[in-house]
Amino acid sequence: MINKLTDTSKLCVHTITTKPWEIEQSIDEFSAAGVGGITVWRNTLEGRDITATGDRIRSNGLDVVSLCRGGFFPADTAAQRQEAIDDNKRAIDEAAALGAPLIVLVCGANPNIPLAASRDQIQAGIEAVLPYAEQHNIRLAIEPLHPMYADTRSGVNTMTQANDMAEAIGHSLVGVAVDVFHLWWDPRLEQEIQRCGDNGHLFAFHICDWKFPLDDMLNDRGLMGEGCIDVPLIRSWVEKAGFNGYNEVEIFSNRHWAKDQKVFLQEIINAYKNKS
Ligand code: ZN
């Protein structure tokens, strides 16, 4: 059964979605529009007092849903892999200061390294930062990325692989972020979402749409309803698997960023209520 989204209390918007805005304006505009949560991209925190930014978010009635992003573990040398681990520890510090309970991991890939070896390095990287995540009680979400990004962005490309890795790590702080853009095509998606939920690993749900044709592999995502993803159906699977967190709108789009972002935010809310 597909429940209609009647209000915006479970709507979260990523700061990257309204990229032209500084984080302070995103906070003010999201709050005024009745958005319930915000996922903060690390670049928006540069030069800020992170603790004060978290307080500002909460005092505007928004939940900090997650921090984007950690990951990028595979690398040619041990020294570079250690640098990645150190950067992920910094992300944990930032999440703790902000009051974000979760970091989304874009796990990384390296075209010089076979994908299976990249996945081993990803798992080793997550396990290396896990004690630090435990100290700060920050959850880590493996986000499988569409296979078109398997060259440089992620060696984890399906829910099956993400579930396998989360199960292999076997820790309550390590789970999976489901993003419809990356996963809509997978014939195993419904059962793998259920498996993820049954494991207690379903940590986040990201929505947008797959526009056709894509003018850009990275920055041409569609607003819900603009493409071919059945977002309500996938949302119903996520909910059936026990997820009751935020529906996070994450859109990278040169086309939408070129607009007045206040107009875009209203379009997001309309698409959320009617096409999600
Ligand atoms: Zn995502």
Instruction: Using the mean position of ligand 1's atoms as its centre, give its distance from the Cα of residue 53 in Å.
Output: 22
Cα of 79 vs centre of ligand 1, distance in Å, is: 28
| Token pair for 12 | 């979260």
Neighbours of 224 (CB within 10 A): 25
**Span from the CA of 251 to the centroid of ligand 1 (angstroms):** 9
- Ligand 1 centroid vs 143 CA: distance in angstroms? 7
Cα(66) to centroid of ligand 1, in Å? Answer: 11
Distances (CA, A) of 238 to 2, 147, 188, 189, 205: 11, 21, 13, 10, 8
Which SS3 state, helix, strand or coil, does residue 146 take? coil
Ligand 1 center to residue 263 CA distance, Å?
23
Q: What is the pLDDT along the chain (276 residues), one digit of tens a residue?
A: 788 998 999 999 999 999 999 999 999 999 999 999 999 999 999 999 999 999 999 999 999 999 999 999 999 999 999 999 999 999 999 999 999 999 999 999 999 999 999 999 999 999 999 999 999 999 999 999 999 999 999 999 999 999 999 999 999 999 999 999 999 999 999 999 999 999 999 999 999 999 999 999 999 999 999 999 999 999 999 999 999 999 999 999 999 999 999 999 999 999 999 999
Ligand 1 center–CA 184 separation, angstroms: 12
Q: How far is the CA of 206 from the centre of ligand 1 (A)?
A: 5
**Distance from the CA of 33 to the center of ligand 1, in angstroms?**
22
pTM for this structure? Answer: 0.98
- The pair of structure tokens assigned to 83 is 């640098």
Q: Would you state the pLDDT for residue 147?
A: 98
Cα gap 122→218, rounded to integer Å: 22
Identify the pLDDT of residue 2. Answer: 86
Domains of the chain from N-terminus onward: 11-275 (3.20.20.150)
Backbone φ and ψ for 174, nearest 5 degrees, come out as -115, 120
Measured in Å, residue 68 CA sits from the centre of ligand 1 at: 9
Query: Ligand 1 centre and the CA of 123: distance in Å?
Result: 19
Question: Which residues contact residue 200 at a Cβ distance below 8 angstroms, ignoring those fewer than 6 apart?
Answer: 172, 175
Expressed in angstroms and rounded, the spacing between residue 179 Cα and the centre of ligand 1 is: 5
Q: How far is the CA of 250 from the centre of ligand 1 (A)?
A: 6
Side chain identity at 30, as an amino acid letter?
F
Q: Give 37's contacts (C-beta < 8 A, 6+ positions apart).
A: 10, 11, 12, 13, 62, 63, 64, 65, 246, 248
Query: Does residue 79 sit in helix, strand or coil?
Result: helix
